[in-house]
Structure 1
Amino acid sequence: MADSLQGETVLVVGRGSGIARAIVDSAAAEGARVIAAGRNRDALATAYKDTGVSVKSVDMTDETSIAALADEVGGVHHVVSTASARARGAVRDLTPEAILLSFHTKVVGPIMLAKHFAPKMPRTGSFVLFSGVAALEPDPGYLGVAATNGSVNVVIRSLAVELAPLRVNAISPGTVDTGAWDGLGEKKDAFLETKSATNPARRIGTPEDIAQAVLFALTNTFMTGVSLAVDGGQPLV
């Protein structure tokens, strides 16, 4: 698949590490010109120093910021959004603010990306959004996450029809150790060991696993409206 994105521009929204970084590196290795955008432009500039990756600022909870980014970078071939704000916690502890931040970051923001970028993209372009295994695997403490991810799975189907022939897909990762689980503290290692022992793949996912799936979604021109599970079979058990 060498140079499969040669001559194309890929915008990746997210942090300068973890899954977003793996996607940026993979897209660049396939010949793409990559633009990385996120709320903390200074952190992105540090992360991508001397890599040739262009860095921009965007707030996924602010349509004005998204529109400004679209005006600044102009036409791109592909847009990937990995941004998230997880509303974890039992229902008794959830707040409207946490749930709305999760939706604004992962659902409303990507819809606004489509609104402002789609008119500037070639017919062969695509969007890749991020869902997640919580949408398929109900688990106490993850109601807010599940509701957000389930909404992404609906959004990509609707956008795929409305924006056609632009393609719109989602990646639905399972448990991936990117630092997102560091909040578990001393319980983190036991949590990851349990997931490794019980899912059919018998291991935890890596950012590179997810980046490979993103490249597939970007380059397979006959796939649209699909939420692609890259989860080690986690919902099966």
Structure 2
Amino acid sequence: MTAELRDKKVLVIGRGSGIARAVTLAARAAGAQLVVAGRDREKLAGAYDDPGVAAESVDLTDETSIAALAERLGAVDHVVSTASARARGLVGDLAQETLKLSFETKVIGPILLAKHFKGRIAEGGSLTLFSGSSAIKPVPGMLAVAATNGAVDVITKALAVELAPTRVNAVSPGTIDTGAYDALGEERKAALFTARSAHNPARRIGTAEDIADAVVFAMTTTFMTGVSLAVDGGEPLV
């Protein structure tokens, strides 16, 4: 049986675009009251023209900032962290500071979220984190991303045990067209998407809405916890 999101208070941490935006809009469509939080509160506030979406500031690399957000919000029903600081590159090109920022944002930050929101998440509530398919099938240039995502898969299980009965799950996307690949340039991005669409079992690239649907599923499926939910078109299978 699933629980409704109507009138539930959902905190989504991330940008005002891409997956974070899609999650916010999907939860809002399901009737939730949203709080979006990120480093640039003003920019986030400007991304939504909806009185049911409030903006807050938080920096997942700063425990004081996380603790302050928890104090300001008080009780919540669901917390979703989409934030990342990707450390792409071959091993010889990776800088220590880049690696640290990636782990601080996507691994240490969510652990601190759990620390400060523990006891504030209402009965039946959840914490949803973000992993990624590179944890299962790493490729050259994605070493640090794979390591970070693998760590998220581990802390998801550990937090599910420690925070019980609060449910803790992760969503693990594959290749998603969110603008994250725009830096490749139109031609290289199109070639990459064509190649991956031709080989993955779903025969297409994922959308932010695909991921948002999975997050809503994770929030509302009350007998699922400690799971990294693969939404990747079967990409790691081939």
TM-score class, shorter-chain normalisation, is over 0.9
Q: What's the Cα RMSD here?
A: 1.4
**Does structure 2 conserve the Cα–Cα contact (< 8 Å) formed by 1:76 and 1:120?**
yes
Residues 154-213 of structure 1 show CA distances to partners (whole Å, capped at 9, x for unaligned) of 000000000000000000000001011112124111111111111000000001100110
- Give the Å deviation of 1:52: 2.6
- Give the Å deviation of 1:2: 11
**Does structure 1 conserve the Cα–Cα contact (< 8 Å) formed by 2:9 and 2:78?**
yes
Residues 19-43 of structure 1 show CA distances to partners (whole Å, capped at 9, x for unaligned) of 1111101101111111000111111
1:188 corresponding residue in structure 2 = 189
Q: Map 1:63-142 to 2 at 5 A.
A: 63-142=63-142
Match of 1:172, SS state, is: strand
Q: How many residue pairs are counted as aligned between the two chains?
A: 237
Match of 1:92, SS state, is: helix
**Does structure 2 conserve the Cα–Cα contact (< 8 Å) formed by 1:13 and 1:37?**
yes
- Give the Å deviation of 1:4: 2.0
Normalised by the length of structure 1, the TM-score is 0.97
- Give the Å deviation of 1:138: 1.5
1:218 matched to 2:219: yes
Provide the C-alpha distance between the structure 1 equivalents of 2:123 and 2:42, rounded to a whole number of angstroms. 33
- Give the Å deviation of 1:226: 0.2
Provide the C-alpha distance between the structure 1 equivalents of 2:51 and 2:183, rounded to a whole number of angstroms. 30
1:204 corresponding residue in structure 2 = 205
Provide the C-alpha distance between the structure 2 equivalents of 1:168 and 1:101, rounded to a whole number of angstroms. 23
Unaligned runs of 5+ in 2: none
1:32 corresponding residue in structure 2 = 32
Provide the C-alpha distance between the structure 1 equivalents of 2:131 and 2:226, rounded to a whole number of angstroms. 13
- Give the Å deviation of 1:51: 4.9
**Does structure 2 conserve the Cα–Cα contact (< 8 Å) formed by 1:2 and 1:30?**
no
1:42 matched to 2:42: yes
Unaligned runs of 5+ in 1: none
- Give the Å deviation of 1:3: 8.8
1:143 matched to 2:143: yes
Shifted more, 115-124 versus 219-228: the winner is 115-124
Letter of the aligned partner of 1:17 in structure 2? S
2:179 corresponding residue in structure 1 = 179
